[in-house]
Chain A
């Protein structure tokens, strides 16, 4: 492997990582407060989760296509890619956070009420700490999925390891495809392992 290829792999890997980090950052910043707000609102929750479920079923290439012509969030480039990736990352984070918060043992919640805790105290001191492993699981699932989906971002000029893959496809050159696919796969495995380790560490064992 020549050094030009190696340095291009490194550069695109970093770009890929950046796409993923920004995506997960934004998705978490929206989904976590969203989960907190929706935890106490059963009706709204059903609507929002239902809508997010539908958004999830749109094939990613099609979603990039839909976004391209839109003003502000559309167009060729990273921004459009990140918007699309965020839409996919939102649901697993939102859903797992809700599962964590709503899954807190009813007797524990009742005991918190009986001790005279306010709803706010129950949320911050009891429900969220107990939901942390589930929240981290959501982040893990979203991160791993985003690492994969982000390879498609290259189709609309998002950059990242997908550049190799699309180049390899157009050149019908397997090694070039692999130059994108292998680092992406390794990245996904590492993220999965790392976040799973954090998840275990944070479990109220």
Chain B
């Protein structure tokens, strides 16, 4: 890999009540790289993101962020440098869309005008018309709209690392494809058109259970099975992977659908 690692996960294990959830996971995310965590429901993807964010503490192993052990970070500083798109959005019900998105910039004491213009351009980026959506409350949004607000919130303070937990799961295929393409563009070009809200090339840990999405977006794909790393490979290598779990996922790529004659 050309660039420095932004995130290093070394031999991390985590158990709840004696039941192992993560087993000896090692994974490095380099700057500008998107590593996709792929796995079935319950394979430990969300738990791994939570461990990175410091919401759960591994029983063994080490996590380093920007070269420094996570345990030596002030947890507040650490979390504000990671934009977290929570599975099912996790928006604050008593705040408007604008207040939700502007949270971390506000916590970081940006001036209000700067927060407002940032919120506006982020809303445009995720395909929500600011005038229409800014003042709404989460309960006035559809599932997919909530998810997009969650994405905008994670991007708001321009964090160097993004943690995305199935960010596109609740979207219709057209909007999903649109956001996937936008995500790729950010990654490939390093930055969007000047003035665009999503600036420098971000590193990302991206959770999905959709193998197609994993291959499309990942610099590398990490396949989790029962909390253990099953395959860690580039998309091209992944297509040739032959573990039973990888084969099971790859089988879902085959097109079984045929129109009735």
Interface residues in A90-140 by Cβ distance below 8 A to B read 105, 107-108, 110-118, 121, 126, 129-130
Query: How far, in angstroms, from A107 to B91 measured CA to CA in the complex?
Result: 9
Min CB gap A174→B, angstroms: 50
Residues of A within 8 A of B55 (CB): 110, 113-114
A59 within 8 A of B: no
Residues of B within 8 A of A116 (CB): 75-80, 104, 107
Contact check, B79 vs A108: say whether CB atoms are below 8 A apart. no
Using known A-B contacts A108-B93, A204-B93, A204-B94, determine if residue A114 contacts B88 with beta carbons closer than 8 Å.
no
Pick from A111, A129, A204 the residue with the most CB of B within 10 Å. Answer: A111
Using known A-B contacts A116-B104, A117-B107, determine if residue A204 contacts B137 with beta carbons closer than 8 Å.
yes
Residues of B within 8 A of A107 (CB): 86, 88, 90
Contact check, A126 vs B92: say whether CB atoms are below 8 A apart. yes
Contact check, B91 vs A111: say whether CB atoms are below 8 A apart. yes
Residues of A within 8 A of B77 (CB): 116
Pick from B91, B92, B137 the residue with the most CB of A within 10 Å. Answer: B92
Closest Cβ neighbor of A105 among chain B residues:
B93
Residues of A within 8 A of B137 (CB): 204
Residues of B within 8 A of A117 (CB): 76, 103, 107
Band of interface residues on B: 20 to 34
Residues of A within 8 A of B75 (CB): 116
Q: How many residues of A contact B (CB 8 A)?
A: 17
B53 within 8 A of A: yes
B84 within 8 A of A: yes
Residues of A within 8 A of B94 (CB): 126, 129-130, 204
State which of A105, A115, A130, A204 has its C-beta within 8 Å of the C-beta of B104: A115
Query: How far, in angstroms, from A121 to B77 measured CA to CA in the complex?
Result: 14
Query: How far, in angstroms, from A126 to B88 measured CA to CA in the complex?
Result: 18
Contact check, A111 vs B76: say whether CB atoms are below 8 A apart. no
State which of A111, A126, A130, A204 has its C-beta within 8 Å of the C-beta of B86: A111
Residues of B within 8 A of A112 (CB): 92
State which of B78, B80, B92, B107 has its C-beta within 8 Å of the C-beta of A111: B92
Contact check, B93 vs A115: say whether CB atoms are below 8 A apart. no
Interface residues in A157-191 by Cβ distance below 8 A to B read none
Query: How far, in angstroms, from A204 to B140 measured CA to CA in the complex?
Result: 12
Closest Cβ neighbor of A203 among chain B residues:
B94
Query: How far, in angstroms, from A129 to B94 measured CA to CA in the complex?
Result: 7
Query: How far, in angstroms, from A130 to B95 measured CA to CA in the complex?
Result: 10
State which of B53, B84, B90, B153 has its C-beta within 8 Å of the C-beta of A108: B90
Residues of B within 8 A of A115 (CB): 79-80, 84, 103-104, 107, 153
Min CB gap B195→A, angstroms: 25
Min CB gap B137→A, angstroms: 7
Pick from A111, A115, A118, A204 the residue with the most CB of B within 10 Å. Answer: A115
Closest Cβ neighbor of A113 among chain B residues:
B55
Interface residues in B64-113 by Cβ distance below 8 A to A read 75-80, 84, 86, 88, 90-94, 103-104, 107
Residues of A within 8 A of B78 (CB): 116
Using known A-B contacts A121-B107, A204-B137, determine if residue A114 contacts B92 with beta carbons closer than 8 Å.
no
Query: How far, in angstroms, from A110 to B55 measured CA to CA in the complex?
Result: 8
Min CB gap A120→B, angstroms: 11
Mask of B39-69 contacts with A, CB within 8 angstroms, 1/0? 0000000000010010100000000000000
The 5 closest A-B pairs by CB, nearest first: A111-B90, A116-B79, A116-B80, A204-B94, A114-B84
> With contacts A107-B90, A115-B153 known, what are 17 further pairs, Cβ within 8 A?
A105-B93, A108-B92, A110-B90, A111-B90, A111-B92, A113-B55, A114-B50, A115-B80, A115-B84, A115-B103, A116-B104, A117-B76, A126-B94, A129-B94, A130-B93, A204-B94, A204-B137
Q: Which residues of A contact B (CB under 8 A)?
A: 105, 107-108, 110-118, 121, 126, 129-130, 204
Please list 29 pairs of residues, one from A and one from B, whose beta carbons are closer than 8 Å in the complex, sorted by A's number.
A105-B93, A107-B86, A107-B88, A108-B93, A111-B86, A111-B92, A113-B55, A114-B50, A114-B53, A114-B79, A114-B84, A114-B86, A114-B90, A115-B79, A115-B80, A115-B107, A115-B153, A116-B76, A116-B78, A116-B79, A116-B80, A116-B107, A117-B76, A117-B107, A118-B76, A126-B92, A130-B93, A130-B94, A204-B93
